[in-house]
Amino acid sequence: MSPPFLLLPPQIIMPSEFRHRLKLLRRRISESDAAALVVTHLPNVRYLSGFTGSAGILVVQPDRATLFTDGRYAVQAPQQVRPAGVHAIIPPTSILRAAGEYLGSRQKRGSHRIAFDPNQLTVAQHKDLRRTGGGRISWIFGTGWVEGLRLLKSPPEIAKMRAAARLISTVFDEVVPLIRPGVTELDLAAEIDYRMRKLGASGPSFETIVASGPRAALPHAQPTRKRLRRNELVVLDAGAILADYCSDLTRTVFVGRASKSIKAWYRAVLEAQAAGIAAVAAGVDSSAPDAAARRVLDAQGLGKYFVHSTGHGLGLEIHEAPRLAKGQKAKLQAGMVVTVEPGIYVEGIGGIRIEDDVAIHAGRTEVMTTATKELLEL
């Protein structure tokens, strides 16, 4: 196996970057005349504070940021958030109620506007927060404020994502020789996940997909005990988390010698994917890559088999903004990282999907995944 050090992310997130993120967020908070934002989504908590635990709420105010977490993280939390200038509190009871009480106790006079993201708080949590915060707080929507920052990746973030993309590409190269009749989908998924960790990933960024034969017609098939057979398409879709950031790669191979019609389908998807990638650029609508990929498949009568959108943003989470889909109006910008992954799915026969991770820079794009896209006949 390749030496893991080659794949180590070259840069870390510096304390100054966390402080910069908090500064930008505070600007957004004050533009809305809010006194604080309650951050409840864990990837957002991690992005702003460096905290990696599985329970945490971050309250961001103009002059301070406070993390509420539980006893399991009593040692870890202060270590992780201190560089970002964040203070950690371990309340004896529910962290949500503690955050509500904390905010309530700080709003002594008059009414205060406190923001939360309605996509990241359940109805029950909202009720709890309102109750513990008390009647003086006026709760407002802070929809996507942190995601708006996460959308544009900094150079150290792009460097990590490049390393994660190369890592999963290396895993694919290593797994290709194992693809042959008789191995099960689960065997291959196990090999993929094992190898990504041996190369330094902390784990898969989503449940690895290996779908063979007619099962490849299910775009989101989970791997099963089904054995690969001769004359089957195999879709492999996997991503690695390296230093917190996700990658996402799909390749489709053929077991045996592909027929002319399979080859024609494969060429069509590959062409559609190339058209999608070519349409990715700073300044264009985020619907453009989808339209470009769809045009190619439509022209070959395959559009009806392309049942999902063309791609999605990627970062700390496997699915982020922007969406590359019909009807999306947002402009693509430098600093975004997106997948481009058209596919066709034919019931009873199988499916073909090809996916790369693409970083948008000023004036150019960078395909970060490097695995071959030739049709491999194994």
Residues lying near its own copies in the complex (CB under 8 A): 52-54, 70-76, 116, 118-127, 143, 186-187, 189-191, 193-194, 197-198, 200, 202-203, 207-208, 217-223, 225, 307-308, 345, 347
Q: How far is the CB of 195 from its own copies (least distance, A)?
A: 8
Q: How far is the CB of 76 from its own copies (least distance, A)?
A: 5
Looking only at the bridges linking them, the beta strands covering 337-340 and 350-353 are unpaired
Separation between Cα atoms, residue 23 and residue 32, nearest integer Å: 15
Query: Collapsing DSSP states into helix, strand and coil, what is residue 353?
Result: strand
Separation between Cα atoms, residue 256 and residue 31, nearest integer Å: 61
Residue type for 240, please? A
Residue type for 86, please? V
- Under 8 Å between Cβ of 86 and 49: yes
**Cβ-based neighbour number of residue 299 at 10 Å:** 12
Q: How far is the CB of 188 from its own copies (least distance, A)?
A: 10
Q: Indicate the residue among 1 and 362 with the shorter CB distance to its own copies.
A: 1
Cβ-based burial of 126 (10 A; exposed 0-12, middle 13-18, buried ≥19): middle
Q: How far is the CB of 374 from its own copies (least distance, A)?
A: 26
Separation between Cα atoms, residue 165 and residue 294, nearest integer Å: 25
Give the dihedral of Cα atoms 197, 200, 205, 210; nearest 10 deg: -40
Q: Indicate the residue among 112 and 195 with the shorter CB distance to its own copies.
A: 195
Q: Indicate the residue among 200 and 289 with the shorter CB distance to its own copies.
A: 200
Cα 152 to chain centroid, rounded: 13
| Angle formed at CA 32 by CA 90 and CA 119, multiple of 5 degrees | 60
Token pair 């996402």 in the structure block, residue? 248
Q: Token pair of 321, please?
A: 């903004």
Identify the H or E element spanning 252: strand 249-255
Q: How far is the CB of 282 from its own copies (least distance, A)?
A: 29
Q: How far is the CB of 8 from its own copies (least distance, A)?
A: 9
Looking only at the bridges linking them, the beta strands covering 65-68 and 87-89 are parallel
Q: How far is the CB of 235 from its own copies (least distance, A)?
A: 12
Rounded to the nearest 5°, which phi and psi values hold at 286?
-75, 0
Q: Indicate the residue among 30 and 122 with the shorter CB distance to its own copies.
A: 122
Cβ-based burial of 113 (10 A; exposed 0-12, middle 13-18, buried ≥19): middle
